[in-house]
Amino acid sequence: MYATAPDLLRLAIVPVFAWAALRDIRTRRLPNRLWPPVYLFGAVLLAVDLLIRWPIGGVADRLFLVRVAISLLFIAPLGVAFWYVGGFGGADAKALVALAIVYPTFPTYVLPIAGIPALPAVEPALGVFSLTILTNTVLVGACYPVGLGIYNALRGRRSPVMVLARPVAIHRLLAVHGRLFETRGGYTRNGLDLDALRMYLRWRGTTLTAVREDPDRHRDPESVTETYAPTDGAAHLEPVTDGAEGSATGDAEGTAADGAEGSATDTEPMDIEPPDDESAADPWAAARFLESIEGTAYGTDPETLREGLETVADPDRDRVWVSPGMPFVVPMFLGIVVSLTYGDVLFAVLRAIGLA
């Protein structure tokens, strides 16, 4: 393979994102310590690129600087903006910033095989590689609903929401990620986040099985006399109880979560104030839970939490529709692979129909 030394070194980002994608699928958490070395790696390679081109003077050199500026001053802040408005998770935003630093311009790889063109094969005139990765990522992500619909159809799960959600057995609910896509009254796109459900159960020191076996007692806010650290709702953490109300294990897996985005806390029990008359009107102690934790539990409000609990506690239900959501780092990894081999898919399509 023939390429500049920095472009060859940039290929090291592929296995990093492959690992991140696999971990994101399993835990929906990526360690914060992953990104600073990637940022430094990209900055060093960019500095080497500048030294190779120094002194800057030709048209090609100035165009290189423009592309770098677009990547660093537009693509990187775009990831932060998406996170700020809730379109990205924190790890997704950091991953896009990493790509903006590592891949500001198109690399070129020439394989020593006759008949194989230089890769990437399709390069748009703008030539900002991080933008190509982003557009390819969005296109890959758009295929997910189609695949989900086919998956459900092959298993006979036909529903108006089959391209957006899949049915999950309630006894497996806490082992998956996503959001409830239904309530007692029908389908909803704003159902309870399962991370928030796990946080709530850990906060109460109970289990979903216990809730389903005795919903009336759990619905009574006065039954909450002792609470526990809710963690961050990660599914890969061990339960904080053994199934007995009010017991805590203190298992090491219930702590720090590897410094991951939204990391968990410890599992020591916490005394709370006795419920007053106002809290007695707080079914499931939902409002008290949200008031007692840091943050918003993934945007959950008391009514959403109560409705979700009523749905999963319904004895007539054995499964619920869940919108699994696609961890953005997964299509981002696939977008990197497509970009490094084929190039800019959107530009190729626009060119084919005469719009580019």
Parts of the chain with a pLDDT under 70? 1, 114, 236-280
**pLDDT computed for residue 67 by the predictor:** 96
**pLDDT computed for residue 14 by the predictor:** 97
Between CA 60 and CA 39 the distance in angstroms is 25
**pLDDT computed for residue 236 by the predictor:** 64
**pLDDT computed for residue 324 by the predictor:** 84
How crowded is residue 82: how many other Cβ atoms within 10 Å of its Cβ?
16
**pLDDT computed for residue 260 by the predictor:** 52
Cβ atoms of 309 and 300 closer than 8 Å: no
pLDDT digits (tens, 9 = 90+) for 57-84: 889 899 999 999 999 999 999 999 988 8
Cβ atoms of 192 and 305 closer than 8 Å: yes
**pLDDT computed for residue 27 by the predictor:** 82
Burial class (CB in 10 A: 0-12, 13-18, 19+), 142: exposed
Q: What is the pTM of this model?
A: 0.78
Cβ atoms of 260 and 32 closer than 8 Å: yes
